[in-house]
Amino acid sequence: MKKLLLSALVLTLAACNTTQGPPTTSKAAPKTEASGGVMSSLGALAGAATSGGSGSSSTDMKVGAGLDVLKAATISDADLKTVSLQMRARDDKKSKAPAGDKYAQRLARLTAKHVNEDGMTLNFAVYRTSSINANATADGSIRVYSALMDKMTDQELLGIIGHEIGHVKNGHTMARMRTAYLASAGRKAAASGSGVAGALADSDLGAIGEKLLNSQFSQSQETEADDYGLAFMKKYGYDAKAMESAMRKIAALGGAQTGLDQMLSSHPDAAKRADRMRDKLAQK
């Protein structure tokens, strides 16, 4: 009974958040503005559970969604890491540069001392692709795309890598993975009460990947990752100003970048965020 009450509470908050979220636009942008922090994730999830609509529906449907959220919440971070690893393995097979590759060698040189970073075990690899992007996932995998490496200096890449590490350290990647998992393959497992799937089918991993691509980190998460990146640069005596110049480049690139991380998308805030980095650096 207490659980039911709790679910109603969670639901109320989630529904509240959903209705207060940014207006959804239907312009050509490939991504939708979505999930923010934990509560927004729940909001998004409640929406997804009621078949994807973001508008509110009947109380019964909302309660149903709330129960789904509660069941889903029993999936542990460790299980989500496993799913994340499976997803990475799938993408790595397609795009990962081999160890001898010149991009792979450059990234290995830059990241060698960051494999064990801030209590986390990370792994880094290059994707050989024409997309300008980088991203991190809940298992601590950070992938940097070769086209991005072509645009950035070593110091700028380190700034971007610091930003990505910030998303892992602050739990953003885990929260997002949870939402994506639950909104797709995981809903089946949650509904059947079996908790987490062992090895997911390729189609399930594809569905999760799709959900991830169609979600974004919130602005506050991006800010948090920026700050982490800046601290990371200072901690290792890197050129902290490269955080700002990396963002200026991203802002100038504009265009139709798509991917897992808003930092590298055409989001108009890139210039503002560069200004913020500049101001923070000027303070001290």
Judged by the rule CB under 5 A, the positions of this chain that interact with Zn ion are 222, 225, 261, 263
Q: How far is the CB of 225 from Zn ion (least distance, A)?
A: 5
Residue 159: alpha-carbon gap to chain centroid: 17
Q: How far is the CB of 111 from Zn ion (least distance, A)?
A: 17
Q: Which of 33, 117, 156, 164 is catalytic?
A: 164
Alpha helices in the chain (DSSP H): 2-20, 38-49, 59-72, 77-95, 102-111, 146-151, 154-169, 172-183, 185-192, 202-213, 219-235, 241-253, 269-283
3-state secondary structure of 274: helix
Using Cβ positions, the residue closest to Zn ion within the complex turns out to be 263
DSSP symbol at 201: P
Nearest to 141 by CA among 212, 211, 191, 200: 212
- The question of whether 222 is a catalytic residue gets the answer no
Nearer to Zn ion, 182 or 225 (CB): 225
Nearer to Zn ion, 54 or 258 (CB): 258
Nearer to Zn ion, 67 or 165 (CB): 165
Q: How far is the CB of 196 from Zn ion (least distance, A)?
A: 27
Q: How far is the CB of 114 from Zn ion (least distance, A)?
A: 17
Residue 262: alpha-carbon gap to chain centroid: 8
Nearer to Zn ion, 117 or 261 (CB): 261
Residue 131: alpha-carbon gap to chain centroid: 17
Give the active site residues.
Answer: 164
